[in-house]
Amino acid sequence: MNQPIKKKTRLPINGVLLLDKPVGWSSNDALIKVKRLMNAIKAGHTGTLDPFATGLLPLCFGEATKFSADLLDADKTYQTVVHLGVTTNTGDTEGEVIATHEVSISEQEIHAVLEKFRGDILQVPPMYSALKRDGKPLYEYAREGISLEREARPVTIHLLEFVRYEAPYLTLNVRCSKGTYIRVLGEDIGNALGCGAHLNALRRTHVGHLVLENSVTLDQIIAMPEEQRHALLAPVDALLSSFPEVILDEELARRFLQGQRISLAKEAVDHPTELGRVRVYRAALGDVPRQLLGSAQIQEFSVLAPERLISTSN
CATH (domain of 152): 3.30.2350.10
Let me know whether 162 and 87 are in one domain: yes
Is the confidence at residue 71, as pLDDT, over 90?
no
Q: What is the mean pLDDT of residues 274-295?
A: 91
pLDDT band at 233 (very low <50, low <70, confident <90, very high): very high
Task: State the pTM of this model.
Answer: 0.88
Q: What one-character DSSP code corresponds to residue 127?
A: S
Quick one: which of 55, 47, 45, 43 has its CA closest to 72?
A: 47
Least confident of 41-50, 95-104, 248-257: 41-50
Residues 81 and 203 in one domain: yes
Higher per-residue confidence, 219 vs 6: 219
Residue 290: closest CA among 309, 314, 274, 268: 314
Number of domains in the chain: 3
The reply to whether 261 and 186 lie within a common domain is no
Average pLDDT, the chain: 91
Q: Cα–Cα distance between 117 and 122 in angstroms, integer?
A: 9
Q: Flag whether 108 is in a domain.
A: yes
Amino acid at 98: I
Contact call for residues 290 and 256 (beta carbons, < 8 A): no
- Does residue 1 lie within any of the structural domains? no
Same domain? For 176 and 200 the reply is yes
Domain contains 2: no
The percent of residues above 90 in pLDDT, for the chain, comes to 73
Q: What is the DSSP letter of 5?
A: P
Same domain, 158 and 232: no
Across the chain, how many H-helices and E-strands are there? 8, 19
1 pLDDT above the threshold of 60: no
d(CA 242, CA 240): 6
CA distance 116 to 201: 22
* Percent of the chain residues topping a pLDDT of 70: 97
Looking at residue 280, what DSSP letter applies? E
Mean pLDDT for 214-221 is 96
Does 187 map to a domain?
Answer: yes
Question: What is the pLDDT, as a whole number, of residue 280?
Answer: 95
Q: Give the pLDDT confidence score for residue 91 in this predicted structure.
A: 92
190: helix, coil or strand?
helix
H runs (alpha helix) in 134-243: 138-143, 182-192, 218-223, 226-229
Catalytic (active site) residue 237? no
Q: Which of 220, 238, 256 is the C-terminal boundary of a domain?
A: 238
- Asked if the model's pLDDT at residue 148 lies above 90, the reply is no
Give the per-residue SS3 of 284-305.
Answer: CECCECCEEEEEEEEEHHHEEE
CA–CA distances in Å: residue 212 to residues 9, 209, 228: 31, 10, 21
Q: Which domain holds residue 46?
A: 15-73+210-238
Catalytic residue among 20, 29, 50, 270: 50
What are the pLDDT digits (tens) for 22-61? 999 999 999 999 999 999 999 988 778 889 999 999 999 9
CB atoms within 10 A of CB 38: 22
Domain shared by 84 and 199, yes or no: yes
Q: Worst-scoring range by mean pLDDT, 140-149, 196-205, 244-253?
A: 140-149
Does residue 283 surpass a pLDDT of 70?
yes
Helices 182-192 and 107-115 pack at an angle, to 10 degrees, of: 120
CATH number for the domain harbouring residue 297: 2.30.130.10
Q: Is 8 among the domain residues?
A: no
Residues 223 and 278 reside in one and the same domain: no
Give the domain-ending residue among 193, 223, 238: 238
Whether residue 9 is contained in a domain is answered as no
